[in-house]
Structures are given as structure tokens and as C-alpha cells.
Amino acid sequence: MSCVFIISAPSGSGKSTLVNRLMAADKNLIFSVSYTTRDPRGIEVDGHQYHFISRAEFLARIAHDEFLEYAKVFGNFYGTHRGILERGRTEGRDVVLDIDVQGARQLKEKIPDAVSVFILAPSRDELAKRLQARSEDSEEVIRRRLAGAAQEIQDYRLYDYVLVNDDVDLASQRLQAIVEAERTGHDNPGVNAMRRTNPEVTARVEQILASFAV
């Protein structure tokens, strides 16, 4: 049975960069390309970052029960196709799912053994800087994303691990270490320190949440 890794983060936390590095470093992983009804951004390519489909097609796929999970986020649908699990089993590789909190909740109910990782920027100010730096959204959308991030972070208890992305190189190494530790079952003190049940992790998340309240 393949390992399933669920990775979530508020928009702008650097999740895509970390996932891309993880996939490049570990050839025993398959990335699940989600389906979405939103338009491509920047240099996104259909079939690579997402499968971009119409709302009508998405709803038809829901009717045919094709998705393991799906959710509506900021007015657009996102979903994970069931076929990715069979592909992982057939190829003998582990599966990485890049999904939001709603989807993660659904998947943990269906796949209790899935390993979930929540990625966070170190503060509201840093998250705002990253959203502004990527120049993809209007100020109104950025404000909405920041408000949404505050809500998403409160759901961190759904996850097995919490990874604060304050240094992209270090965060990349830590994410790879989580995958390796879970795959092999080997105890790793550095990985254990990122477990959501660690009191220091709880304190750090509460500190980040507090930065949204000022």
C-alpha cells in the first residue's frame, strides 16, 4: 500500500515551492494533479499545476463520483481524482496531494492513515509580503486571502505535522525528512519536533495566529 501525503497551506505560504522541491528530490513520489474550475495564472500549464476544466464538466464529474474529495474555494471548485490512488499502487510509489483544509478533512475521513502536513508562513506580515510579491492578485483579493488564512490556521489540529516556512531551504529539508521518516518508520527527533502534538509547535502556531489579530 502506497503512503499518501496530504500537504496544505494558506495561499502564499510557499507550499508550491516546497512541493516542487520535494518532487524533484524524490522520484518515488507521484504528484496528484488536482482538477479546478479557476483560470490558469501566470505560466501555469494545463495538466501540470492543475487540470483546468469548466464548471459544467466539474459538476458532471461530481455526479459520476470521480473525486476522492472536492471543495469550493474563493468561488472555484478543486478536486482530487480517485485514479491517483490506483496509479500509486500500480507503480509502487507514494502519493502527494496538494489540497486545502476542506479537502484534507474529507480525505482524512476516507484515508485515516494518510500523513498530513500543514505549512505556514511565520507571520501575517510575512504572508502579506509573499502574496504581494507574486503579483497575481489585487489588493482586495489579498485581503480576502489573509482573512481566509486566519480561519485556515485555526484548523491546524487536523494535521499530523506543522511546518513553519521561515527559510525555504530549511523548510524543504524538513518536508523531505517527514516523508522519509513516515515511509521508513524510522524515529527522527527532528521530525518528531514538528508533530502537531508537540507543545512547542502549538505555541508557535498560536503566536502566528496572534499576528493576525493585531
Domain 4-31+96-211 belongs to what topology? Rossmann fold (3.40.50)
Tell me the pLDDT tens digit for each residue of 126-152: 999 999 988 777 888 889 889 999 999
Residue type at 113 in one-letter notation: D
Query: What's the predicted TM-score (pTM) here?
Result: 0.90
Q: Which residues, in sequence order, are CB contacts of 191 under 8 Å at separation 6+?
A: 161, 174, 177, 178, 181
Phi-psi domain of 47 (left: phi exceeds 0; alpha: psi -120 through 50; beta: other): left
Instruction: List the chain domain ranges.
Output: 4-31+96-211
Burial of 118 (0-12, 13-18, 19+ CB in 10 A): buried
Tell me the pLDDT tens digit for each residue of 14-47: 999 999 999 999 999 999 999 999 999 888 889 8
